[in-house]
Chain A
Amino acid sequence: MPLRIEPLQISAFTASCAAGTGTAALLAALEQGRSGLRPNDFGSTPLPTWIGRVDGLEALQLPPALMPWDCRNNRLAWLGLQADGFLAQVAAARQRHGARRIALVLGTSTSAIGETEAAYADLDADGRFQPAQRRPLVHTPHSLAMFVQEALELEGPCETISTACSSSAKAFATAERLIRLGLADAAVVGGVDTLCGSVLFGFNSLELVSPEPCRPFDAGRNGISLGEAAGFALLERASADSELLLLGYGEASDAHHMSTPHPEGVGAERALDDALARAGLQAADIDYINMHGTASSKNDEVEAALVARRFPARTHASSTKGFTGHTLGAAGIVEAVVSLLALQTGWMPGTVNSRTLDPVCGPQLRLAGARGAVRRALSNSFGFGGNNCALIFGKEAVQ
């Protein structure tokens, strides 16, 4: 078991997704039970499914200095950075710590691959990219982090984590280690993923895409709804005044299958146990769980069973994929933000779109949202390759 860690302060956070740009819009959607999903209208030959699409990216203009990075994913990153005053919060942190002492750790599953797809659809007569598309800084996984580092004028360690749908959750773990070891005094973490052909047709090829809005943990669930999102958080060392904290994290592998979770949820449970150990908490101390809950048959079965056997009935658990769609590499940060909003406001979201819970679910799983005292929240993120991450946030340090 890992040792306890010193909590880190969440100094600022933001998320932008189909449910809204910025946390106020996201919180309103969560409180009103309003799904951000729509019938798929992405691309020239849209599959019959529902998506969580962010409006306005096609018309969004990057500032001239950032134009070399232009693509849908970096546009969404730019939209996300401007929400909730996040740019200004990072600028203030830069003043406090110096640009070289702020790490940047971002998760993404597909980064700017949508732009690479576009280049393939418009090759020149020799089968090469058009000259304007020969941009090595765009057609690579690190494009997002390089772009954000430039946009935020940061000079500290800069790393892309790409472990599919756990990517931006794991960014918190990497940042915690960098700060604990004194390699940084603060860190911007988060992630961005955008809709693209690779994921829409890819998940379709695995027969994991639902023809209707996804229904996590529903007995009749029939697949995921893909989405896109950007989210960021600023982490610093905690003080007695800190109001929101990263208390613990756990990372573990299933060692089972590339695209199917371990049937007993071995990796997910190990990630949970490591997160609890680092936080110095028991499962019974968790008030709210934001589940990975993709609405795929297997994920939900395994995750629901894990929560049913490990948590007391009073713990409120829900999946917010029906609000946002599954935003893949950005899911970790979006759902960390949902968990932080629960701590801040006491609103524990429900599981929108779902109607009849799968019998495998315990009493923890809730279709309706509820208000209550939320002191500690857990967020689960699981990815292809059997890659699992659990994060625990709280309102005060654990005694």
Chain B
Amino acid sequence: MSAASRTPTLYIEGPAFWAPTLPGWDVARAAFRGEGGPVQPPARRPSPQVLPPAERRRAPDSVAIALEVASAAVQASARRAADLPCVFASAHGDLAINDYMCATLASQPTLLSPTRFHNSVHNAAVGYWTIATGCQAASNSVSAFTASFAAGLLEAATESAADAQAVLLTAFDVQAVGPLASALSSDGMLAAALVLAPQASERTVAAFDWELVPGAPGPALRSDAARALQGNAMADALPLFEALARGESGTLDLPLSGRLTLRLHLRAA
């Protein structure tokens, strides 16, 4: 099926990563390369400087971690956030807010908080990002259960390729809490981001060609640091960031479903 596709080579800039044990790309990169370990004690949730001070404290965890890595990716790409279309991906959105909403509706529905309600939309994080950075370009919010990173990457890649423009991809999920945790699992917090560009630049860390192939399984994780994060609902982001950390070239399969896989042919810069 790749014969019919017209997908141009894309270039990755500014990989960014945040988890409590790997708070930042430098720490994560070293750990994924087996050159360092997780930080102890784990970091507290980030306080993204892109938000006004009052909002830094009030922001839901999902927004805090998403904006932290989005800022880091844009900074490392040396681009202007206001110019970049953005795709945010999350399997479940903010699970703590879902828990609050459902618990409140079951007890005192008329006391629902208006702020928590508007923060409950799946696109809350990308909404705060566009407001904080003055970005009036297209913004998107994508979900695909266990394939949410792959789906977000596909969306960002098609946006970048179709209009020959750089696109910010940000992916995140938070811990499942409350009764909802008996039905859904997601451990801890994990956020990752990168910028996809249609041309190489001095910030390019890797290039890739891409195609859709019949369902092929994703690769096994190679580092203890990545394996320790597998319980998070955004864990399907880990193989790409591990490969970027290790400067690897080669085929990387990211399942989109049981029947379809996004195959990257990765070349380290």
Contacts and interface: CB of A to CB of B under 8 A. Distances in A.
Contact of A162 (B138, B141, B257): B141
Contacts of A170: 140
Interface in A238-283: 251-259, 266-267, 270
A328 B143 CA distance: 17
Interface stretch (B31-39, B44-52, B97-105, B216-224): B97-105
A362 interface: no
Given A181-B161, A253-B137, A174 B155 contact: yes
B50 to A, nearest CB: 13
Contact of A119 (B5, B155, B183): B183
Contacts of A121: 105-106
A197 interface: yes
10 contacts: A117-B102, A119-B183, A142-B144, A155-B259, A164-B122, A174-B158, A180-B6, A202-B118, A206-B117, A254-B130
A182 B105 CA distance: 45
A127 interface: yes
Interface in B128-158: 128, 130-131, 133-145, 148, 151, 154-155, 158
Given A162-B142, A177-B162, A253-B130, A142 B179 contact: no
Contact of A120 (B105, B163, B214): B105
A38 B120 CA distance: 27
Interface residues of A, number: 77
Interface stretch (A72-80, A133-141, A226-234, A291-299): A133-141
B113 A205 contact: yes
B257 A149 contact: yes
B145 A142 contact: yes
Given A206-B114, A386-B127, A181 B158 contact: yes
Contact of A129 (B128, B139, B183): B183
Given A159-B151, A385-B127, A134 B182 contact: yes
A168 interface: no
B183 A255 contact: no
A205 B130 CA distance: 24
B91 A142 contact: yes
Interface in A197-251: 197-198, 201-207, 251
A113 B136 CA distance: 29
Given A159-B144, A159-B151, A185-B4, A133 B163 contact: no
A387 interface: yes
Interface in A32-54: 45, 47
Contacts of B135: 253, 255
A129 B182 contact: yes
Given A159-B151, A181-B6, A201 B109 contact: yes
B114 A205 contact: yes
Interface in A18-42: none
Contacts of A270: 136
A368 interface: no
